[in-house]
Structure 1
Amino acid sequence: MAGIMSYFGRPDTKKAVRDALVDLQQQIQILDKKSDQLQKKIEQELKVARANAVSDKPLATAALRRKHAHEKQLDQLRGQQTQLEVQAETLASANINAETVAAMKKAAEVMERIHSGMSATNIDETLEQITDQIDQAKAISELLASPLSGDPFAEEELEAELNELESEALTKQLSHAERVPMYIPPGAVRKETTEQRQVTEYDEEVALRELQAELAAM
């Protein structure tokens, strides 16, 4: 853990990791080439041993000794190559882990700065202030939309004037209504049934209601 945490305090660590990975890969390639060369030598010595197994046994035996020496060296190279590959993978994994932890640490610091001025109490107070401002804005809107105080035209005066106009209109309407003639010429018979009287009264009542509706709409 201490090695990972020291990663944050060393700006050159990333470059060092890259350089180390490059060196490991280069060494692995060198060992791989040597392994190929040894493999070819082993095959060559085996060919010599087979060719001289009957005709020249000492030569065949010497070829087999060289073959075994090459095989031993090849095993050593392959072991070294395996170790280097494991080390490269481990270093790359450690580098990824360190970078991940560094990113997490940086994000945690940013979150801490963001939340430094925030708390449940502060949020409640902010929401309360917003609510108060909304209520105040509504109250101001209602005041601006309401009629101005100190209206010079009192409601009672307007109603009295309206009643006066209504009376004048009704009087004028009735004065223009058709009147029943009071004088009956000689020989004329005035006949007025009960139904006719009801129709006349109904017409006058309808006319009166229509006039009232017109005045109310003014």
Structure 2
Amino acid sequence: MQLFFSRQKPKADAKSAIVRLRETLDMLGKRESHLQSKIDAELKNAKSNAATNKRAALMALKRKKQYENQIEKISGARITIEAQVMAIENANVNLETIKAMEKVDDTMDSIREQIDLADEISNAISAPMIGIDLDDDELTAELEELEQEVLDSQLLGADAPPVTVPNVPTTEPAIKRRSKL
């Protein structure tokens, strides 16, 4: 069956792809500098043969032109590879950013779950004990009765301090007694 279905190649990660592309760029740079040295040599050869051997000078100029064409192709390839490196780096940065955001989302979800759990625990702790059913209507009626008692006692003055009235004297005042004597 493997004759018809090829195995999938394992996908390279972005970092290894960038490393390979940078190695290729280095190799192309070396090739470009090697060709430039050949161009310089052919130009020197063409100048030296220009006056004495025109055919050798023309051949040197042809080789120089071929080397220049190769350098142009290499330069184009380098530009393309550099663009690919930047695209891969940008994609890798975006991927890392997305992963970081997913971790933040997961952390926030975990925090929300913990807050919900803490609320449930708090509600369970603060809830009345089992078996004691509190009826809000009964509590409201009891509160109204207490309010009415307070109001009644205020109106009747039951809470006010007792008023003391001076005693009526049973004897005559001393000043009047002297006048009778």
Measured in 2, the distance between the counterparts of 1:49 and 1:82 equals 31
Say whether 1:54 aligns with 2:51: yes
Tell me the secondary structure at the aligned position of residue 104 of structure 2: helix
The residue identity in structure 1 corresponding to 2:59 is A
Superposition deviation, residue 24 in structure 1: 0.5
Superposition deviation, residue 118 in structure 1: 3.5
Q: 2:68 is matched with which residue?
A: 71
15, 26, 51: which is aligned to 1:18? 15
Superposition deviation, residue 65 in structure 1: 0.4
- Normalized per residue, the structure richer in helix is 1
Which structure has the bigger radius of gyration? 1
97, 122, 133: which is aligned to 1:100? 97
Cα deviations across residues 139-182 of structure 1 (Å, max 9, x unaligned)? xxxxxxxxxxxxxxxxxxxxxxxxxxxxxxxxxxxxxxxxxxxx
The residue identity in structure 2 corresponding to 1:47 is K
Measured in 2, the distance between the counterparts of 1:41 and 1:117 equals 71
**TM-score (normalised: structure 2):** 0.57
Say whether 1:115 aligns with 2:150: no
**Structure 2: stretches of 5+ with no match in the other structure:** 1-9, 127-181
Cα deviations across residues 96-145 of structure 1 (Å, max 9, x unaligned)? 110011011111111011113546xx59x77xx6xxxxxxxxxxxxxxxx
**Structure 1: stretches of 5+ with no match in the other structure:** 1-11, 130-218
Measured in 2, the distance between the counterparts of 1:45 and 1:99 equals 50
Task: Kindly report which structure 2 residues correspond to 1:168-187, keeping only aligned pairs within 5 A, or say none.
Answer: none
Say whether 1:82 aligns with 2:72: no
Measured in 2, the distance between the counterparts of 1:98 and 1:117 equals 29
Tell me the secondary structure at the aligned position of residue 116 of structure 1: helix
Query: How many matched pairs?
Result: 112
Superposition deviation, residue 87 in structure 1: 0.7
**TM-score (normalised: structure 1):** 0.47
Measured in 2, the distance between the counterparts of 1:78 and 1:104 equals 39
Aligned CA RMSD, in angstroms, stands at 2.1
Q: 1:5 is matched with which residue?
A: none
Tell me the secondary structure at the aligned position of residue 39 of structure 2: helix
